[in-house]
Amino acid sequence: MSAQRAHAGVPPRLLDEAALRRAVSRLAHEVVERHPGERLVLVGIRTRGIPLAQRLAATMAELGGEPLCVLAVDPREYRDDRPRPLEAAGPALESLNGEALPPLERATVVLVDDVLFTGRTQRAALDALLSVGRPAAVEVLVLVDRGHRELPLRATYVGKNVPTASGDRVAVRLREIDGVDGAWLIEDAAA
């Protein structure tokens, strides 16, 4: 049994509130530096990718950039490891401010998610995105990359790389949804 697990059952913290804030700030700087003056659209993958995308957009605006369009994508219907519903539940992409979806052509889309694991969620989000339009380029931004890819996907921007066992979990919590900011490693109980 690891010393961390033995310590009152508290999972090891990967990112505290301050470290998460610094990671978001650094990621926003990286995107801005890579795309000066380009048309960007941030697309948050449900659930925690959405507030991350909103935080990134706010930080990028503070850096003097133009206000960014932030969209939400729900990739559940596009997953290849779950049964598909007979009828579509709703649009693949939605605007978070109620405005019409912008044209994606000639835009660089940054898919934003909390954790990158097998790559299946990001692949499904990419399929959902491409069902709506064809962006000039698509990049992936994740807060935590924990490895164990099943598909040949790689994040363009990574907040923190964390080596994990395949049975472990990474739990990201954001104040907009969970009331707290941070990321924790939940080790496989069977290990």
Domain boundaries in the chain? 3-79+90-186
CA pair distance 166, 176, nearest whole angstrom: 28
What is the structure's pLDDT at 185? 97
Measured in whole angstroms, how far is the alpha carbon of residue 15 from the centre of its chain? 15
Global pTM exceeds 0.85: yes
What is each CA distance from 182 to 19, 20, 86, 132, 178, in whole angstroms?
8, 6, 37, 33, 10
Tokens of 8: 């009152």
**CATH architecture assigned to 3-79+90-186:** 3-Layer(aba) Sandwich (3.40)
pLDDT string in tens for the chain (191-residue length): 344 444 556 789 999 999 999 999 999 999 999 999 899 999 999 999 999 999 999 999 999 878 899 999 999 889 887 766 546 566 789 998 778 888 999 999 999 999 999 999 999 999 999 999 999 999 999 999 999 999 999 999 999 999 999 999 999 999 999 999 999 999 988 76
- DSSP H helical segments within the chain, as ranges? 3-6, 17-34, 49-62, 120-130, 175-178
CA pair distance 115, 48, nearest whole angstrom: 9
